[in-house]
Structure 1
Amino acid sequence: MGWMRRIRLRTVLQHTALAVAAVQGTTLAVLAVVDHRRKRTRKPAVFPRVAPRSVTAGGSEVTVYTYGEDLYRDMLDAIRQARSRVFFETFIWKGDAVGQAFKDALTEAADRGVEVYVVFDEFANLVVPRSFFHFPDNIHVRRHPIGRSWPSVRNSGRDHRKLVVVDDAVAFLGGYNIGSLYATDWRDTHAKLTGDIVWDAENAFIDFWNLFAGRRRPELPDVGGRTWQSDIRIHRNIPRNVVYPIRGVYLDAFDRAAHHIYLTHAYLIPDTDMLDALLRAARRGVDVRIIVPAESNHIVADWLSRGFYTQLLRGGVRLFLYQGAMVHAKTATIDGQWSTIGTANLDRLSLTGNYEINMEVLNADVARQMEEIFALDSSNTVELTLAAWRRRHAMVKFSETVLTPFRPLL
């Protein structure tokens, strides 16, 4: 009789698993349909923005951008004035007018004798025509390949970095991909760096390039730094070496916070340690505020993120939903002293999966500028209260629960 009970139990478990999978699949399918319709009817984005402004930080200068057209203008200008070499790395590179402008500028630079190195992520650009990524022989190209050893993180991490370095003189890094949509319709944050910190950005590109160098792709010269930086540091997640410092930088900053934590993030799917650090800060009286998109470009990410809202709101964290545009920034500023701008989202893919790059700045002037940007962004949000969140439909709550197992994938 024991073996019959085991068979019945196994059958029940199998049927239950199939039922759960069916519900999850149906939920994902419905979300996909909703997302498709939502994107087709989306209105042109309108949101407040500030003109780029430069701030001195030690031996470096930081210029913060919050509008794509401003950023692209200065990036293209730097590439067009390049005299010796250009390092260009991006995650998404659209084959539209903006994408073509960058391709043309890089090609023209190579034709006048500039050494041009290009890196882009192959998986992120599957929808872009392959012909767009045909480059002349005088441009050095690395297509970061689609991982063949998933779920091995060391071999499957995406290159989510966005980094441009020109002539050892100027560097750009942050959340902006390359494309016409991002130029006007997305609210993102990027930084231009000049001065001593440019070497660190340049070294980040060289190390990444050399990590995959070989007979077909020779190494770039690796030279020592010019000076030690006290105000600014650049941190890099390197899955191949199982190195993820950005997560630790965030956790340490949250633990140090005494007055306020202002976060702006496209995708808020924190792991347990990250969530606990934010809740501990709120419990000790820190003013923790997070801006997230009311509707992001990934509807499943939205629903997974909402699964954390109850716990965050109960714990005293304030949530603000950005209106009228996709906010894609990955920034934080704490206590008027510490700030970060980069490519890493507060999710597992960024913090323990992808190649990412963030700059960390310990400078009151930079923090003040980041706080001003946060205040302006906040004026375009609706605060989500715990009372309002509890009133959401029961089916919505059920769907959030159904999708919970997918959190580790994002």
Structure 2
Amino acid sequence: MSSPRASLTHLLARAQRLVGWVATAVLSAQVAVMFVLSVVDVIARRKRKVRKFPTVPPSEIDLGTDRVTVYTFGEDLYADMLASIESAEEYVYFETYIWKGDEVGQAFKDALVRAAGRGVRVHVAYDVFANLVVPQRFFDLPDSIHVRRHPLVGSLLPLPRNAGRNHRKLLVVDGDDAYIGGYNIGSLYADRWRDTHARVQGPAAAEIENAFVDYWNMRPLGLFPKAASNQLESPTGRDWNASLEVHRNTPRWQVYPIRNMYLEAIDKADHHIWLTHAYLIPDDDLTNSLFQAAQRGVDVRIIVPDKSNHVVADWLSRGFYDELLSKGVRLFLYQGAMVHAKTATIDGHWSTIGTANLDRLSLVGNYEVNAEWRVPAVAQKLEEVFESDLANCVELTLDQWRRRSPLAKLTESFLAPWRPVF
């Protein structure tokens, strides 16, 4: 005859097994739902027509010693980036997350090869995971080009210091010509996606160059196992009063300043906060900061895609809509094309353009880089871009949102536990 203690132990063991089975079943069901949503979205996107969207022509903003150009159309940006590479005399630093092996990608590859062929020092960095679907022979570059491939998997320990994708997009030419923003490299992004990039010409370009150099020279605990043979010199003579500041999220250092940059700027706002983001999955501190701004009368507006290129991210993002709308934040859904920009402009004084989305992967996970300006001329240019984008948006009201189907509400709730992962 078993003792009461043995019976209790047996019951606890059975309960633990039951909890494990239930948890496994729920997890499997969530993964299955995400898989089905993704498959359905892929099929739907094949039939979806991309229409023309409004853009703002690039024009130089004179900041005295520096000039800034804001790009909202890929073809304009790529033409200038390629021209910069072709004009390089000393060095080219090129870093991208996605580098497609299509016509646009080949144009960049050819320009970099030509630059190296005429004696220019060319350094290239790209993320392996982001380019798994690209034929790997495309990345066969001549030995004259120095290449850093951010690996699919670094050393397994210690985490999270060795985790994170290289989600950055930079180009630096000869120290005084630099580009930063959301554009990856590929034909899709040239004319079918709405993104934002900036060009910085002048002494402030050194701030972007320094971000590249620090990444290149980094040795993150086995992430780049080979010994450094081509360390880069950091730019000298950087101005303490540069027209921009560059913020870098660096998992190796466990430093994530971009999130704090947003929190500080939002907290200071007293008139308007206009954000454009591809994926909106903010943490509690960011949402509360936006709520507090709206409560003190700040005009808080966010542009997001009506349908992004990641359907699961869309469903996770929608879980925030009810609270955002009910607390005074206005949401605008971009129509007919993917808006991939990561920008903000506040009070006509502050602005940022960069690679970080408002989600956990960007703000506390990936290698990211954002440029910050406290210059009215740049902020006002981004206001012009925001207003142009609004012409291609439909505002989502709280009443409209609450009338969505019960199935949609159930799906959002069912997938909600995955929000911290994205």
Q: Distance in 2 between matches of 1:150 and 1:391?
A: 47
Q: Distance in 1 between matches of 2:102 and 2:229?
A: 28
Deviates more, 1:90-99 or 1:14-23: 14-23
Q: What residue is the counterpart of 2:4 in the other structure?
A: none
Report the TM-score when normalising by structure 1: 0.97
Partner amino acid, structure 2, of 1:113:
G
Q: 2:148 matched to 1:142?
A: yes
Q: Distance in 2 between matches of 1:114 and 1:10?
A: 64
1:306–1:384 Cα change, 3 Å: same
Q: What residue is the counterpart of 1:118 in the other structure?
A: 124
Equivalent residue for 2:401, pick from 389, 401, 409: 389
Equivalent residue for 1:38, pick from 25, 41, 44: 44
Q: 2:217 matched to 1:205?
A: no
Q: 2:250 matched to 1:244?
A: no
**Alignment partner of 1:372: what SS?**
helix
Contact 1:196 1:229 in 2 (8 A): no
Q: What residue is the counterpart of 1:128 in the other structure?
A: 134
Q: What residue is the counterpart of 1:183 in the other structure?
A: 190
Where do 1:348-363 residues align within 5 Å? 348-363=360-375
Equivalent residue for 1:109, pick from 112, 115, 125: 115
Q: What residue is the counterpart of 1:378 in the other structure?
A: 390
What is the root-mean-square deviation of aligned Cα atoms in Å? 1.5
Q: What residue is the counterpart of 1:167 in the other structure?
A: 174
Q: Distance in 2 between matches of 1:58 and 1:282?
A: 35
Give per-residue Cα distances to partners, 1:279-314, cap 9 Å, x unaligned. Answer: 111111111000000000000000110011011011
Deviates more, 1:23-32 or 1:177-186: 23-32
Q: Which runs of 5+ in 2 are unaligned?
A: 1-6
Equivalent residue for 1:26, pick from 22, 28, 32: 32
Q: 2:304 matched to 1:296?
A: no
Q: Distance in 2 between matches of 1:123 and 1:158?
A: 8
Q: Distance in 1 between matches of 2:241 and 2:315?
A: 40
Contact 1:197 1:229 in 2 (8 A): no
Q: Distance in 2 between matches of 1:246 and 1:74?
A: 27
Q: Distance in 2 between matches of 1:295 and 1:386?
A: 19
Q: Distance in 1 between matches of 2:17 and 2:267?
A: 48
Question: How many residues are treated as equivalent by the alignment?
Answer: 410
Give per-residue Cα distances to partners, 1:126-166, cap 9 Å, x unaligned. Answer: 00011000000100111010124278221121110000000
1:85–1:364 Cα change, 3 Å: same
1:166–1:16 Cα change, 3 Å: same
Q: Distance in 2 between matches of 1:246 and 1:117?
A: 25
Report the TM-score when normalising by structure 2: 0.94
Contact 1:67 1:184 in 2 (8 A): yes
Q: Distance in 2 between matches of 1:107 and 1:129?
A: 18
Partner amino acid, structure 2, of 1:81:
S
Where do 1:254-293 residues align within 5 Å? 254-293=266-305
- 1:80 deviates by 0.5
Q: What residue is the counterpart of 2:84 in the other structure?
A: 78
**Alignment partner of 2:162: what SS?**
helix
**Alignment partner of 1:403: what SS?**
helix
Runs ≥4 residues deviating over 3 A: 212-217
**Alignment partner of 2:408: what SS?**
helix
- 1:402 deviates by 1.1
Q: Distance in 1 between matches of 2:372 and 2:78?
A: 23
Q: Distance in 1 between matches of 2:151 and 2:28?
A: 32
- 1:112 deviates by 0.4
Q: Distance in 2 between matches of 1:203 and 1:402?
A: 44
- 1:11 deviates by 4.0
Q: 2:231 matched to 1:219?
A: yes
Q: Distance in 2 between matches of 1:384 and 1:203?
A: 41
- 1:25 deviates by 2.5
Q: What residue is the counterpart of 1:334 in the other structure?
A: 346
